[in-house]
Amino acid sequence: MNEAKLHDFMGRLVTDMGGAALMANVVIGEELGFYKAMVDGRPVSSEELAEKTGCQPRLVREWLNANAAAGYVELDDGKFRLPEEQAMALAIEDSPVYVAGGASVLSALFLDKDKVVSAMRGNGALAWGEHHPCMFSGTERFFRPGYRAHLVSEWLPSLNGVVEKLESGAKVADVGCGHGASTVIMAQAFPNSRFFGFDYHAPSIETARKRADDGGVSDRVAFEQARAKEFSGSDFDLVCFFDCLHDMGDPVGAARHAYDALKPDGTVLLVEPFAGDRIEDNLNPVGRLFYAASTCICTPNSLSQEVGLGLGAQAGEARLRDVFMQSGFANFRRATETPFNLILEASK
């Protein structure tokens, strides 16, 4: 045994355990408005933060100590301040890097641990709707900042001729739309187009309808509960799959249905977690996050459905291309990418 390697590994384990425990504190601080109360960057004492948020001062001090140890807040002459960069990620909901809201997905991983253990011992199935509700709102909050930052300004323009169609008036399906974050963002940007969001999870569809109302776009957005292989409508100019195709049991069937529902010159926009084709390409921080989430969420969801292909959240472009080639599409290409997403385009 190499003692130096053991020390190194123990260091990494302590870092990871601290990270996991800290994430619980991030979720708590987000819910109680601690980061937002510090968004001005001015140093506060624990008593001041407790008073501002109406919380228990001794617990607030411990929370601040934990955040200071992690470098999320800085000690400043006995007080604590939230630096501007940390505020972008932890306090400012409109920022493209706001992650504090999405951290509640991590809560669901622990809350649903027993169900994943049962799935592991059984047939591997755990359906999306079986998760704790914080999974659904956490997913929305995890993905929405990226969609707001990139979807209209980069991802849609990276597709051949799609923005022109959206501007003049297109028919769009958003399949596996969840709470409809992507649907509402597109509808707000393209008032001449009509949008149809589909998801098989009924409570998500109810929330999506509320989001369309709140976003002032319910006149041009309709949400309907439907499985990806069965959604209604035809002659779509654009069919989108945002971070959901790999969750499906039969992605080939879903892509084939998209093929049938598209106009001859229509386009599929497929947004998937960033991944290389080989496991060796994904042994990095992004791959670690997605593989770990995929073990508890995406893969058991796929195994809960017919076919149960189990692509996993790190499927990679080659396997996704294969899905679309099997479904009859003639063209498939990487349109663009971010550190977290592959943006792929398929056409007939």
Ligand X SMILES: C[S@@+](CC[C@H](N)C(=O)[O-])C[C@H]1O[C@@H](n2cnc3c(N)ncnc32)[C@H](O)[C@@H]1O
Print the binding letters for residues 152-181 with ligand X: x by CB under 6 A, - otherwise.
Answer: ------------------------xxx--x
- List the beta bridge partners of residue 172: 195, 238
Backbone angles phi, psi at 327, to 5 degrees: -90, 0
Helix pair angle (181-189, 202-214), 10° resolution: 30
Cα atoms in the 13 Å half-sphere on the side-chain side of 100: 23
CA 291 – CA 281 distance, rounded (Å):
12
User: CB 289: neighbour CB atoms within 10 A?
Assistant: 14
Which of 36, 131, 141, 201 lies at the binding interface for ligand X (CB under 6 A)?
Answer: 201
The structure tokens 């990871």 sit at 16
- The CB-of-144 to ligand X minimum distance in angstroms stands at 7
Print the binding letters for residues 116-155 with ligand X: x by CB under 6 A, - otherwise.
Answer: ------------x----------xx--x------------
Q: State both tokens at 147.
A: 């969609």
| Single-letter amino acid code for the residue at 287 | G
Q: Which of 250, 207, 194 is nearest to 227 (CA)?
A: 250
Which of 248, 258, 270, 346 lies at the binding interface for ligand X (CB under 6 A)?
Answer: 248
Which of 243, 272, 317, 345 lies at the binding interface for ligand X (CB under 6 A)?
Answer: 243
Based on the shown chain and the rule CB under 6 A, indicate whether residue 274 belongs to the binding site for ligand X.
no
- The CB-of-207 to ligand X minimum distance in angstroms stands at 10
- The CB-of-153 to ligand X minimum distance in angstroms stands at 17
The structure tokens 């999506």 sit at 208
Q: Binding residues for ligand X, how many (CB under 6 A)?
A: 22
Which of 227, 256, 257, 321 lies at the binding interface for ligand X (CB under 6 A)?
Answer: 227
Instruction: State which residue, 260 or 265, has the beta carbon closest to ligand X.
Output: 260
Q: What is the DSSP string of 73-91?
A: SEEETTEEE--HHHHHHHT
- The CB-of-270 to ligand X minimum distance in angstroms stands at 11
Based on the shown chain and the rule CB under 6 A, indicate whether residue 273 belongs to the binding site for ligand X.
no
Q: Which of 133, 114, 136, 116 is nearest to 124 (CA)?
A: 116
Instruction: State which residue, 72 or 142, has the beta carbon closest to ligand X.
Output: 142
Which of 72, 190, 223, 242 lies at the binding interface for ligand X (CB under 6 A)?
Answer: 242
The sign one gets for the Cα dihedral 14, 17, 23, 26 is: negative
Based on the shown chain and the rule CB under 6 A, indicate whether residue 327 belongs to the binding site for ligand X.
no
Interface residues with ligand X (CB under 6 A) are 128, 139-140, 143, 176-178, 181-182, 199-201, 204, 227-228, 242-244, 247-248, 301, 305
